[in-house]
A and B are shown apart, each in its own frame.
Chain A
């Protein structure tokens, strides 16, 4: 019972309280408490793997939801810890309204996403995803500048359009269940059990519309543009939140549909679709990472790339599915670190242009160090987590012997590595012509660097020692998709 309280009721109370209270300091404290409580509750659900909600409700925490709840809560806590440092540096009257709206919107975001993760009814899922999009609007619109306005408009419009297609998918799913045992209530577990009798034609159409609808929110190609603009023009904490948790909520919605599809014979088609979408995203990411002048857009495209890898992993199935899930977790770690450092640099240099960043290691030595470490993390250097999850995906591809995606995947990874290293290393090493001794050091070790280092380091023990708590629930998730490991 307490877990339901912590998962749903506390964020609601926090939203109301922070909306009413004026002082930022107290709001930060309340949000932090709500976030930590939420994290503890989801960890509890993850480890014990029992569903706190009564059986017949439309809300339930199955192992899949528990895993995604942990990711959401963990990223949320990291962002909340980072935001006071960020907000303190935002002087100037034009930000007062945005700062006022910041914490309530964050809490509302937590509530909406938790709902989206635990809901079992497809139509309700559509409604809650809409809510999550609305909660993000004020956060993206933080800077109130021309670009952020354009980014908000495009993001809202495209994601809502995407969700319309999701609702069409839900309707077709209902249509495919017509005549079969009255599972018209579109509840995931019952649909999954009745899956073999569903009408394959409408199921296939339903999955297509769901995939197109959700990929606007996930950021899969070809529906990624709105997402790129939003992530690159949002403030650093919000961008980290979007890259870490918002996309994983959309991925969960897609996995719900895949849960219904996987027992039926539509599964190979769905897998081909996912593999195609994954490779397309990787290709688009490679196109734009190759030569990019704005390092925040570079990180946005890196998110598209990693979500492409996750879709690829789900599409390949078997051990690649385990790789995809792990990749989701480690991607949220890496993106948090990268966006925090990008935030520091944006504050200090005042621009998002790569050419404007000079003498980074002398001006911001700590941010530079964590920035390079995060770069080697996200590119998949061995000791860190991304390497192990990509290795699982590669293993899955070899085991199912589809060699074309295998070679394309490696080639695109290489192109993306060249593009990103070119940008990151130029930022790290270009001198500014000022003699080295006279460049003042502009920062000391602070919480953002600690958070970044923690996020990167946390993935190493998880990946190498594979703690039972995490991996048992991952095996349970794989079992729901019919994968024995």
Chain B
């Protein structure tokens, strides 16, 4: 089976050479993406078969500077490999339909496709490499591939700014990972993850340092709250298929890192679990609250990624608590919930971003205030987006509900098994999750209602336009995947099984932990049957009583215009005002002075307090460094003074030490 994976990598390799040969053109775009898709299909078949009939495969070869390098396909790696390959396949196919619009505008696609392939290959390698040094090398390739894919439309200022945000965040993440892996290497003497796991005797101080830098480093990449700031700037800057890829799987590399750290390091301190729980809850609730206040469609979806990362973090923290208090069932529930939500989020977030890409192309811009009535213009995208919206809010028939259900179950089981303050805190976490579910419903009804329903606010005539063929196939494919996982959850549970086997303490879990979720399909099928029956009755009845179209009831006001529909900021204004301490709402408008006002404009946008915090830090560093700029004054006499001063200073130090 490994041959398929190698064939996949070989095809990717070919794809790295192809852009250099052919010229910029639609054929290059189609050829490259089809080649990528073929390679990913092979990889996908390999990882699916390896997961379903699971046996641990490992390849070991020696490199002088890095010691024994291990490429291992254990449960966790295979699951993430599956997720990465699935969404890269969707992104490549989507790119076929999406990129021609840019090629017509004269943007060169060769470099972009090269870095797109580099990103896909390095993502797959990140999941399977078990050696810390090679992991860092491949991690950096991923970062570079992602950066250069983001800055595709380099001529726009905010695209460059978004790319810069991404690059700085990734570098900070890499520096923290240096510390984490170096200290581990120092303690255990080798670079391999299984040696880190085998070495049991970590003294608390080094373990604390490793865990904090590891979680912080991977947390920056995943987008937990204090470090999420790059996400809403980088993802809108990227073209749709790249921002879909970034949101769906690139930030999941951070989650993979945290899961890997949790697997190999001993869990003695429960405080980390509670800390992660707190950070995840804050990320989730504030993430969705910020999303509610956004007007740009991609920025809204980016903030939503922060929310879903928070939900995954909740699952991971319960798993960590399970390991600390030696409860195998909690470990199984926590990790299953987290991993499943990673897969589910990857699918519906990819679906939503690709849908947003189609909307972006049609509306030539991201601002949802000027949209409306797109359901009649791009119906296939509308259906796909609706399925994505329902599953991201975690509503029943689709896959979001399955993973949130497992996380709820892990909360309640943890409340049973743990004592002291634990039940209370976990109940708060469950209520937080519910509160966030409500906010998500509000946010996505706003987004879907404003963008797809009603009439177009910019007054554009709503005639049906062709959607790119391949992108609609991808959208409907992902939507059907959401439905399948949602209605038949036991398929995805078998994918998570092998990964759970490896977590310390989770191997002898009782099999019934997944019992209710396994048989949920009967419930959902019954529910769908009920809907079908009632719909049939409705159609039959309305067939007899007849239907007719008329003007919407305007309470007697006859000259209603599309501009009078509810706007996005109006829809969310009240809720956003409630979050005022954390959500700063900047409003620019001039009050009426003269009797006959000439022209009035109103503009409001939501400021992210944490982003302002980081920008303040940046300005502080700039001011601090600026204060020291007198050193290179240009006058040679100052330089001579520096020489003599240095000699005197060192001599004084010599006397002291």
Q: B625 contacts A287, CB within 8 Å?
A: yes
- Does B628 contact A464, Cβ atoms closer than 8 Å? no
A222 and B631 contacting across the interface, CB-CB below 8 Å: yes
Contact partners of A413 in chain B: CB under 8 A: 175
Q: Are B106 and A437 in contact (CB under 8 A)?
A: yes
A421 touches B167 (CB 8 A): yes
Residue of A at shortest CB range from B187? Answer: A398
CA distance A210 to B181 in the complex (A): 38
Q: How far is the CB of A319 from chain B (nearest CB, A)?
A: 10
Q: Does B543 make an interface contact (CB < 8 A)?
A: no
Which chain B residues lie closer than 8 Å to A92 at the CB level? Answer: none
CB-based nearest A residue for B650: A208
Interface pair B621/A269, CB less than 8 Å apart: no
Say yes or no: is B654 at the interface (Cβ < 8 Å to chain A): yes
Kindly identify, within residues 165 to 212 of chain A, every residue whose CB is under 8 Å from any CB belonging to chain B. 165, 204-205, 208-209, 211-212
Whether the pair B625, A388 counts as a contact (CB closer than 8 A) is: no
Q: 1/0 per residue B43-69: CB within 8 Å of A?
A: 000000000000000000001111000
From B65, B139, B186, B651, A399 is in contact (CB under 8 Å) with: B186
Residue of B nearest to A223 (CB): B643
Assess the A376–B144 pair: CB atoms within 8 A. yes
Contact between A382 and B137, CB atoms less than 8 A apart: yes
- Which chain A residues in 274-303 approach chain B with CB under 8 Å? 283-284, 286-288, 290-291
CA distance A222 to B653 in the complex (A): 16
- Decide yes or no whether B292 CB sits under 8 A from chain A: no
List A contacts of B566 (CB < 8 A): none
Q: Is A50 an interface residue (CB 8 A)?
A: no
Indicate whether B172 reaches chain A with its CB closer than 8 angstroms. yes
Verify A394–B178 contact, CB threshold 8 A. Answer: yes
Answer yes or no: B182 CB below 8 A from chain A CBs: yes
User: A53 interface residue, CB < 8 Å from B?
Assistant: no
Does A425 contact B160, Cβ atoms closer than 8 Å? yes
Taking chain A's interface residues, is the majority helix, strand, or loop, or is none over half, making it mixed? helix
Q: Given known contacts A291-B622, A425-B164, is B171 in contact with A417 (CB within 8 Å)?
A: yes
**Bound complex: CA of A137 vs CA of B640, how far in Å?**
20
- Closest Cβ of chain A: how far from B101's Cβ, in Å? 16
- Interface assignment of B185: CB less than 8 Å from any CB of chain A: yes
When the two chains form their complex, are residues B178 and A391 in contact, meaning their CB atoms are under 8 A apart?
Answer: yes
A384-409 contact mask (Cβ, 8 Å, vs B): 1 or 0: 00011001001100110000001000
In the complex, whether A422 has a CB less than 8 A from a CB of chain B is: yes
Which one of B66, B107, B182, B636 contacts A464 once the chains associate, using CB atoms below 8 Å? Answer: B66
Knowing A157-B636, A287-B631 are in contact, say whether A463-B65 is a contact too (CB < 8 A): yes
**Cβ of A154 under 8 Å from chain B:** yes
A356 at interface, CB cutoff 8 A? no
B639 interfacial contact with A, CB 8 Å: yes
Q: How far is the CA of A35 from the CA of B65 in the complex (A)?
A: 31
Docked CA distance A221–B628 (Å): 13
Asked whether A286 lies within 8 Å of B639 as measured between CB atoms, the reply is no
Instruction: Please tell me if the beta carbons of A287 and B137 are within 8 angstroms of each other in the complex.
Output: no
B66 CB contacts on chain A under 8 angstroms: 464
* In contact, B654 and A391 (Cβ under 8 angstroms): no
Contacts of B632 in A (CB 8 A): 225, 228, 288
Q: Is the interface of B mostly helix, strand, loop or mixed?
A: helix
What residues of A have a CB within 8 angstroms of the CB of B137 in the complex? 382-383
Chain B residues 363 to 386 lying within 8 A of chain A, measured CB to CB, are none
A216 at the interface (CB under 8 A from B): yes
Query: How many angstroms between the C-alpha atoms of A290 and B621 in the bound complex?
Result: 9
CA distance A211 to B646 in the complex (A): 10
Q: How far is the CA of A382 from the CA of B625 in the complex (A)?
A: 28
CB-defined contacts of B167 to chain A, threshold 8 Å: 421, 425
Q: How far is the CA of A431 from the CA of B107 in the complex (A)?
A: 13
Any chain A CB within 8 A of the CB of B273?
Answer: no
Residues of B within 8 A of A205 (CB): 651, 654
B155 at the interface (CB under 8 A from A): yes
Contact in complex: B168, A418 (CB < 8 Å): yes
Given contacts A228-B632, A395-B182, contact A410 B155 (CB under 8 A): no
Contact B654 A158, beta carbon cutoff 8 Å: no
B 617-640 binary contact with A (CB < 8 Å = 1; else 0): 000011001101101100010111
Asked if B636 contacts A154 (CB within 8 A), the reply is: yes
Q: Indicate whether A158 sits within 8 Å of B639 (C-beta atoms), given known contacts A212-B650, A395-B185, A414-B175.
A: yes
Complex CA–CA separation, A451 to B440 (angstroms) = 55
- Across the interface, A291 reaches (CB within 8 A) one of B154, B626, B653, namely B626
The smallest C-beta distance from A281 to any residue of chain B, in angstroms, reads 11
Closest A residue to B134 by beta carbon equals: A382
CB of B212 within 8 Å of the partner chain: no
**Complex formed: what's the CA distance from A391 to B638 in Å?**
36
Residues of chain A lying within 8 A (CB to CB) of residue B650: 208, 211-212, 273
Q: Contacts A158-B639, A463-B65 hold; do A382 and B136 have CB atoms under 8 A apart?
A: yes
**Is the pair A165, B185 in contact by a Cβ cutoff of 8 Å?**
no
Q: B645 interface residue, CB < 8 Å from A?
A: yes
Interfacial residues of chain B within 155-200, with CB under 8 A of chain A in the complex: 155, 160, 163-164, 167-168, 171-172, 175, 178-179, 182-183, 185-186
The complex places the Cα of A157 from the Cα of B621 at a distance, in Å, of: 34
Q: In the complex, A423 Cα to B340 Cα: how many Å?
A: 42
Nearest Cβ on chain A to B379's Cβ, whole angstroms: 35
5 A-B contacts (beta carbon < 8 Å):
A215-B646, A382-B139, A410-B178, A418-B168, A425-B167
List residues of chain A with CB under 8 Å of any chain B CB: 153-154, 157-158, 161-162, 165, 204-205, 208-209, 211-212, 215-216, 221-223, 225-226, 228, 268-269, 272-273, 283-284, 286-288, 290-291, 376, 379, 381-383, 387-388, 391, 394-395, 398-399, 406, 410, 413-415, 417-418, 421-422, 425-426, 429-431, 436-437, 463-466
Known A-B contacts: A165-B643, A208-B651, A395-B185. Give 19 more (CB < 8 A): A208-B654, A223-B643, A225-B631, A269-B654, A269-B657, A287-B631, A379-B171, A382-B139, A391-B133, A398-B186, A399-B186, A414-B175, A415-B621, A418-B171, A421-B168, A421-B171, A431-B154, A465-B64, A466-B64
- List of 6 A-B pairs having minimum Cβ-Cβ separation, nearest first: A382-B137, A466-B64, A208-B650, A222-B642, A429-B154, A382-B140
